[in-house]
Amino acid sequence: MKLIVGVDGSEPANRAIAWCAKYAASLSAEIIAVHAVDIPLYSAPGVGYMPVAPLTDDDRDDLRGVVQTEWCAALNDASVPYRVVVEDGPPATILMEVARREQVDMVVTGRRGRGGFAELLLGSTSHQLSHHLDCALVIVP
């Protein structure tokens, strides 16, 4: 079985990681920890919305290190093998794209992520996944 877990450093995402750490062995699961770098926009008078500069390669390497050592600590502690994918884009979109590309059996996510104003406008990642994902979905409360 191959599964993706969405990670963003939030408490709900940490619970999703803990769920994977607990059940990975019994599922014989290959785990892919996915973090989406949602490129923020800022408003420029007379121009409209402009993207903030993307991450540099060094920033991306630093972020990958945080994902591996901090956000996936429960997987490390349980000696569960996994790999990390960091991609640019909205979290739900990235999770669905990676799920299709990797042909995963299941996506695991927390009930809520970092939240904020974008969540009010667009809806939560778990809500979007529940409506559009083509494989099994586990939403960890």
102 close to 32: Cβ distance less than 8 angstroms: yes
Task: Note the pLDDT of residue 18.
Answer: 97
If you average pLDDT over residues 36-59, what whole number do you get? 67
Task: Note the pLDDT of residue 46.
Answer: 60
- How far CA 107 is from CA of 39, 55, 119, 132, 139, in Å, comes to 22, 26, 20, 12, 8
DSSP annotation of 38: -
- In this structure, what CATH number is given to the domain that contains residue 104? 3.40.50.620
Model pTM above 0.85: no
Task: Note the pLDDT of residue 119.
Answer: 46
Q: Give the domain extent around 44.
A: 2-140
Q: How many domains does the chain have?
A: 1
> pLDDT at residue 41 above 70?
no
Residues 97-112 have pLDDT tens digits of 999 999 999 999 998 6
Using alpha carbons, select from 82, 67, 86, 99 the residue that is nearest to residue 27.
82
